[in-house]
Amino acid sequence: MSEEIRIKKKNPRRGDDGHKVVSVRMKDELIEKLDELSEKTNRSRNELINMLLEAAVEIVKVEE
């Protein structure tokens, strides 16, 4: 048999890029501060939240 069956690799589905969607409740004042920072830095609110959380997770200390 010289015939081959070729199957193309499937593109990852949406959400399979190592990111997850998370819903978080925030106070209006915090969202306003994020929006101001977003405008000043030309970054999206989402990008800023990720940057800030990554930094905070590295420096947080749990007290017993």
Q: How many residues in the chain?
A: 64
The predicted model scores a pTM of 0.69
pLDDT category of residue 48 using cuts at 50, 70 and 90: very high
Output DSSP code: residue 18. Answer: S
pLDDT tens across 4-26, in order?
A: 877 777 776 766 778 888 999 99
Tokens of 13: 């589905």
**Dist CA 25 CA 36 (whole Å):** 18
Query: Residue 48 burial (CB < 10 Å; 0-12/13-18/19+)?
Result: middle
Higher pLDDT, 35 or 2: 35
